[in-house]
Amino acid sequence: MKALLRIFRPSRKLVFIIVGVALLGGVSGGAALYIGKDKILGPSAEETNGLACTDVNLVTIKKQNRIWVRKYIKTEPTDGMTRVRTALRVAKAIYEAQKPDLVQVVVLDTNGPTLRSDIRGRAMGADVVYIPHPDPVLESEEAKTYTARYYDGTAASNGLFFGERIDLPEDEITTLNASFKDYSDCIDPIAVAATEGGEGGGKGKKGGKKGEAKEEKPAEGGESGEAPAEAPAAETAPAAGH
């Protein structure tokens, strides 16, 4: 029996290694709890780039040789700053792909309205406007490259957001943009349905009006009916009863 114990008795060096690994694991776990996971591993992808999103509606407006793109998207429930990050990321992705003169991205709740006539006020959980070259587009000294605003509360069951409306200063928006690791666009449900083929693709085409890109032709004199950059400023929040 004693001979068997001698055979299976671990060496002193092996014992030290095992104890050292156990202590290191305990210290690391304690440090993670005390300092915080983000301090050790860095911020999560959600905190850096925002959430995955789905297209709701895309409008392309051509006005006096300028192209303005307005995109409505929806995300899962999240906080206001994450909605802004998502909108900024998507706006940059749209610009990189199409090089329009102005990009506006509006973030809706999953239960929010899908008709553009209903998307206003507190239905807009976050709203970002990106103008790469503001003077030629708006011909105004007050025009900014970026504007971003959001409601800091969550959305109700009807998709309208609670809380105070926050307008971010441009330097903070610039800092957020610099932190992005990638500029990915949203998922287009029409394109996804088309790739499935068969009946799935057919249904996607038939019912896909709300996610399909739409070009608004200018009215007489070359003007289109509504300017994307002016829409957010003109909208007001609904009464508390909504």
Q: What's the CATH number where 145 sits?
A: 3.10.310.90
| pLDDT-based confidence at residue 150 (cuts at 50, 70, 90) | very high
Q: Are strands 54-63 and 213-216 parallel, antiparallel or unpaired?
A: parallel
More confident residue, 40 or 137: 137
What is the tens place of the pLDDT at every residue in 164-214?
Answer: 999 999 899 989 988 888 888 999 888 777 776 655 444 444 444 444 444
φ/ψ (deg, to 5) at 110: -60, -30
What is the model's pLDDT at position 205? 44
Please determine, for residue 87, whether its predicted confidence score (pLDDT) is greater than 50: yes
Q: How far apart are CA 102 and CA 205, in angstroms?
A: 28
Instruction: Find residue 127's DSSP bridge partners.
Output: 106, 149
Could you tell me if residue 19 is inside a domain?
no
Could you tell me if residue 59 is inside a domain?
yes
Could you tell me if residue 43 is inside a domain?
no
Please determine, for residue 230, whether its predicted confidence score (pLDDT) is greater than 50: no
Could you tell me if residue 146 is inside a domain?
yes
Could you tell me if residue 112 is inside a domain?
yes
What is the tens place of the pLDDT at every residue in 109-123?
Answer: 999 998 888 999 999
Please determine, for residue 144, whether its predicted confidence score (pLDDT) is greater than 50: yes
What is the model's pLDDT at position 16? 59
What is the model's pLDDT at position 106? 97
| pLDDT-based confidence at residue 147 (cuts at 50, 70, 90) | very high
Provide the residue range defining the domain that includes 137: 51-185
Could you tell me if residue 232 is inside a domain?
no
Q: How far apart are CA 150 and CA 232, in angstroms?
A: 11
What is the model's pLDDT at position 21? 58
Please determine, for residue 153, whether its predicted confidence score (pLDDT) is greater than 90: yes
More confident residue, 16 or 190: 190
Q: Which two tokens stand for residue 156?
A: 């109700």
What is the tens place of the pLDDT at every residue in 34-79?
Answer: 444 444 444 455 567 788 999 999 999 998 888 999 999 999 999 9
What is the model's pLDDT at position 194? 78
Question: Backbone dihedral region of 64: left (phi > 0), alpha (psi from -120 to 50 degrees) or beta?
Answer: left
Whole-model pTM?
0.65
Could you tell me if residue 36 is inside a domain?
no
Q: Which of 109, 128, 129 is nearest to 119 (CA)?
A: 109
The rounded percent of the chain whose pLDDT value lies above 70 is: 58
Count of structural domains within the chain = 1
DSSP string, the chain: -HHHHHHHPPPHHHHHHHHHHHHHHHHHHHHHHHH-HHHHH---HHHHH----EEEEEEEEEETTEEEEEEEEEESS--HHHHHHHHHHHHHHHHHHH--SEEEEEEEETTS--SGGG--GGG-SEEEEE-SSHHHHH--TT--SEEEEEESS-B-TTS-B-S-EEE--HHHHHHHHHT-S-----B-HHHHHHHH-HHHHHHHHHTGGGTSEEEEPP-GGG--S--TTTHHHH--PPPTT-
Q: How far apart are CA 39 and CA 32, in angstroms?
A: 8
Could you tell me if residue 28 is inside a domain?
no
Please determine, for residue 220, whether its predicted confidence score (pLDDT) is greater than 70: no
